Amino acid sequence: MATTPPLLLLLFHGLLALSMALGVHGKPGDHGNLTRQSFPPGFVFGTASSAYQVEGNTQNYGRGPCIWDTFLKYPGTTPDNSSANVTVDEYNRYMTFFLCVCAPDITPYVVLYHYDLPQVLQDQYNGWLSPRIVEDFLKFADFCFMTYGDRVKNWFTINEPRMMAAHGYGDGYFPPARCTGCHFGGNSATEPYIAAHHLLLAHASAVKLYREKYQASDCPPFPSILQIILKFFFFVSNFAPCSSCQKTCFQARQTGKIGILLDFVWYEPLTPSIDDEFAAHRARMFTLGWFLHPITFGHYPETMEKIVMGRLPNFTFEQSAMVKGSADYIAINHYTTYYASNFVNETHVSYVNDWHVKLSYERNGVPIGKKGYSDWLYVVPWGLYKALLWTKEKFNNPLMLIGENGIDQSGNDSLPGGLYDKFRIEYFEKYLHELQCAIHDGANVFGYFAWSLLDNFEWRQGFTSKFGIVYVDRSTFVRYPKDSARWFRKIIKNES
């Protein structure tokens, strides 16, 4: 992320061992009563945030600029011309936040990188377009593992690499704002695939490092109290370095897990036609499959290889072996569902046109679901069920969790009205029910995180959109739990 350790913390509240009581799933869309016992024993609930969206202090204490700092200086980048210079001032609450995260009933899940590439790396070698970034990312990951690994046992390397590749290098919607015809240059037909390739290699390299240097399971057991006394008082050393990691065994046995977060909109065929069925399949493979297929099988999806051909980078034998299996778990960030129909756009070659798909929000004039505040977000709970079952079938049923899921409201909502978010509670209820049904039908899901903990800076939407379950008064930065936060707490604690 930035030049200081950027931690996206997903907070899990209370790991409770509860009996499993899953109802029979008739069909997606049938919603019943939701309770904590609806989920397997040990199922984890939490909320999510990201460093850049909450910290502020972008110009203080030696922090170097990231590509978003540069991008947001251009007028009109956000509807309200806002920046992340202050956001919700989480930086000045860091120690309080850190102490809360270290509480006994809260487990941190940390993401190393969430969109905010240091600007210096973009200036030096074009960031994710250069293979040099893999080594720099590895050094950054090593620092984080070494510094926080004694307290953090659950890691993610990168959040939504597809979004960075597609929007940073495909259409210019995200920094570094490169695309065919963009002011900063670019090539929408090649650069998204190059950036994604390096993102995958950076991810896999960090996982390899973690497994060999920190996750090592072949070390001898931790030293006993007697051994520790002997070491410090009689200089008897029982801390020989592991051959695989060149660290002491005491340091190496962090025994954590590591994975990646991938965004996944569910794409439903617009019609029952074979053409639209294939179109929806292509859309899924060009999004989730772009990253999860190499992580599962060591190579890109055949669908992509046939269409993109020579524009799609190749893995070497060694790279393929490193990428394959490079995740202990996968986080799926899911918000909504779209219709997909077959469509070939021959105007120009680009990543999005390679899909040969037209996306729509309605069928025969009927919306696919109720629209949220944002134009792109429709409430389609059954899409989550289908997304998880499809992932189960196509990618060997990986261990999964829901990394982000939520709905927004207008940024103009003020107190006290902004606290009354019944629509968000209904959204959570419906999506959690579909998650419950997916687990019942075999999806290997162990956790759910709501986006987001706070009303924070929402990238290109600035502060015009609020996803938080906690309202933040931006004049005082006082936090106020919304009705959805109280509801979420009751579900987690199994209260009436």
Active-site amino acid positions: 160, 404
Q: How far apart are CA 268 and CA 264, in angstroms?
A: 12
| Contact indicator for 46, 97 with CB cutoff of 8 Å | no
Q: In angstroms, what is the C-alpha Rg of the chain?
A: 23
**152 contacts: CB under 8 Å, gap ≥ 6:** 108, 110, 256
| Contact indicator for 44, 447 with CB cutoff of 8 Å | yes
Closest by CA position to 110, among listed 251, 1, 198, 249: 1
Q: How far apart are CA 145 and CA 99, in angstroms?
A: 19
Return the H-helix or E-strand segment holding 382: helix 382-394
| Contact indicator for 177, 282 with CB cutoff of 8 Å | no
DSSP 15-50: -------PPP--STT------GGGS-TT-EEEEE--
Closest by CA position to 179, among listed 188, 189, 192, 190: 188
**Tokens at 465, concatenated:** 């959109």
**Tokens at 488, concatenated:** 């979420």
Q: How far apart are CA 13 and CA 381, in angstroms?
A: 24
3-class secondary-structure state, position 306: helix
Q: How far apart are CA 212 and CA 13, in angstroms?
A: 30
Q: How far apart are CA 55 and CA 69, in angstroms?
A: 13
Q: How far apart are CA 157 and CA 109, in angstroms?
A: 11
Classify residue 373 by its DSSP letter: S
**Tokens at 194, concatenated:** 């190059």
Phi, psi of 392 (to 5 degrees): -60, -45
Q: How far apart are CA 388 and CA 441, in angstroms?
A: 10
**Tokens at 232, concatenated:** 């410090």
- C-alpha distances out from residue 277 to 297, 342, 382, 439, Å: 23, 8, 17, 25
